[in-house]
A and B are shown apart, each in its own frame.
Chain A
């Protein structure tokens, strides 16, 4: 159990103010929710700067904040690739090439675009998988929030879960998508302004960027000392944590992520990134709510500017934490599980037994983990095995506690606790709460639209009045929140739940971009080709996963359950290669089946849905305001950032 944080009346006041304002926004918008289009589509009436920040905020769940800081500590500046390679180019592609078809086709959702372009089969497959994924994503986020409030503030898990859900329910129910988008903008500013002082104080404490770089160079040559490698002899080049590209170019064994260049650029930078930013309705919905085509295309471009700079806010804290932990006298250690007295006695016995039985390090680590109830760094367990004979119990216990793996997910909170006095603490915690809520509201609004338009109206009750669909939207919002709560309990009860859910996400998402790419840019793609390609791509993801595993994992939920044909250097490498494989299979099968089947839609029907069949619109914008030009400027800015941190 971590030490509880005690909030003062000022901290509570900030939290309450935030809650009052987000619920107030919902109630203020209530009068304007007259039709189903108002509720689900915001009446397509929102300016680009609002939809742009909401586009970013919907993706900025707390799991991203927590996870990116953790990755900053584990992998260093290479984590920026999730932004500079894995987001910006895809956002620009969405704005320049894809948004005209999403917005121009008047589709109300991404699955509906699939129906217009292909047929009902592809739409149904995408709608069902997307609806299930949004509920689980929302539930995972909710579970993480309730667990965090419980461990940090001592609040009851159940009460935290229900109260946060009710707050999101209130403002989404009253103000629909507009309310979610408006509160996402407010949450965006809350997140930036809430965490910025923590980063500033952290950097000041660490002695500035040059001091951080210096410390991380020392960490890189002896990573096992900091529980960052499984072998005591493992060493990286001094710039492994502070250079974005050089360690990557040197191969998987030379960078802490264990990634090769192809997996990073093609797997993350193309397949996963374009698959997420260009086809995920959760984010695309924000752009589709814009007031006109110009605003819709500018939405991802507006979002790209802060997105490019976000590593400063979310990755840098992890790097600062690692530098602090490597600096003597700073009194900072990474959060990690504390072994209870009873378990420590069993752990000491476990190490002694393994040492006297000359057990190998893998077996000893497994036995020790079972005794202690937590995970250990194998390099340090190896050292403990060698030193066990002749070492007193008390000293061995200190060594065992030191060998517990770091809880990197706790990095951001450990910095909040370290730097935030009363007042600032309330602001930072409110920012964290805001990030959870923006993620949950985003998922719920995407879910209610897809359910009502793509499943309920399409297959269950096609010819009802607009009032009926507006009513259904509200009813399914309540149901969506209740299902999210159910998913949160599911995630909390089963430790493997997160891994399995994320695995299913990967299976479904990986091939999707191939379907959209061919659908939008190759008029010969047929409905049957798209459907068979998508199913084949999803099956290929599952097959790839069942035949590969990453180093250090045993066959099971982490892969290799049919047969291990290939061992990949890291979980991340496995994910990126899986995505690449699924994309290629989906692409090739779609092409082959399309060529073997007849088109069911005429050129006229595909006008506005396919690039080559859509007449070029006269643009009434100055050259410097056109999405293409802005996109190039953003790409140059992104390239400069990559060059600076090369």
Chain B
């Protein structure tokens, strides 16, 4: 099929990763559960993970196209 599914997956997760990481940076701080700080800025960390995953997908699609 003409569409390489890695493009939409890569683009979507890159954008969501940026949104999440941006939220983590703006609001800062870590998650509190039942009033206890667990010491992780989960939006920032997980946003970075999603961004990396999206970039990898996108990159691998571009690389295949180039070849």
Interface residues of A, Cβ cutoff 8 Å to B = 10, 13-14, 17-18, 21, 24-25, 28-29, 31-32, 42-43, 45-46, 50, 178, 182, 185-186, 189, 193, 197, 201, 204-205, 330-332, 418-419, 421-424, 427
Q: Which B residues are in CB contact (< 8 Å) with A14?
A: 16, 19-20
What are 21 contact pairs spanning A and B, CB under 8 A? Answer: A10-B23, A13-B19, A17-B15, A18-B16, A25-B3, A50-B5, A178-B1, A185-B9, A189-B9, A193-B13, A197-B46, A201-B38, A331-B34, A419-B42, A421-B43, A422-B23, A422-B27, A423-B23, A424-B42, A427-B20, A427-B46
B3 pairs with A423, CB closer than 8 A: no
Interface residues of B in 28-67 (CB under 8 A from A): 31, 33-35, 38, 40, 42-43, 46-47, 49-50, 53
Q: A17-B12, A201-B38 are in contact. Are A45 and B1 (CB under 8 A)?
A: yes
B28 shortest CB reach to chain A, Å: 11
A21 pairs with B11, CB closer than 8 A: yes
A295 shortest CB reach to chain B, Å: 13
Q: Which B residues are in CB contact (< 8 Å) with A178?
A: 1
Q: Is the interface of B mostly helix, strand, loop or mixed?
A: helix
Residue of A nearest to B5 (CB): A182
Q: Which B residues are in CB contact (< 8 Å) with A186?
A: 5, 8-9, 12
A24 pairs with B8, CB closer than 8 A: yes
Q: How far is the CA of A186 from the CA of B9 in the complex (A)?
A: 6
Residue of B nearest to A50 (CB): B5
Interface residues of B, Cβ cutoff 8 Å to A = 1-3, 5, 8-9, 11-13, 15-16, 19-20, 23-24, 27, 31, 33-35, 38, 40, 42-43, 46-47, 49-50, 53
Q: A21-B8, A423-B47 are in contact. Are A32 and B16 (CB under 8 A)?
A: no
The residue from A43, A332, A423 contacting B20, defined by CB atoms under 8 A apart: A423
Q: Which B residues are in CB contact (< 8 Å) with A201?
A: 31, 33, 38, 40, 42
A424 pairs with B20, CB closer than 8 A: yes
A332 pairs with B34, CB closer than 8 A: yes
A424 pairs with B2, CB closer than 8 A: no
Q: Which A residues are in CB contact (< 8 Å) with B12?
A: 17-18, 21, 186
A193 pairs with B53, CB closer than 8 A: yes
B26 shortest CB reach to chain A, Å: 9
Closest 9 CB pairs of A and B: A423-B23, A331-B34, A423-B43, A21-B12, A182-B5, A423-B20, A197-B46, A10-B23, A28-B3
Question: Which residue, B2, B16, B49, B53, has most C-beta atoms of chain A within 10 A?
Answer: B16
Q: How far is the CA of A18 from the CA of B16 in the complex (A)?
A: 9
A10 pairs with B19, CB closer than 8 A: yes
Q: How far is the CA of A421 from the CA of B26 in the complex (A)?
A: 13
Q: How far is the CA of A332 from the CA of B23 in the complex (A)?
A: 27
Q: Which B residues are in CB contact (< 8 Å) with A419?
A: 31, 33, 42
Residue of A nearest to B57 (CB): A189
A42 pairs with B9, CB closer than 8 A: no
Q: How far is the CA of A419 from the CA of B32 in the complex (A)?
A: 8
A488 shortest CB reach to chain B, Å: 28
Q: Which B residues are in CB contact (< 8 Å) with A50?
A: 5
The residue from A13, A45, A197 contacting B42, defined by CB atoms under 8 A apart: A197
Q: Which A residues are in CB contact (< 8 Å) with B49?
A: 193
Q: How far is the CA of A42 from the CA of B2 in the complex (A)?
A: 11
Q: Which B residues are in CB contact (< 8 Å) with A331?
A: 34-35
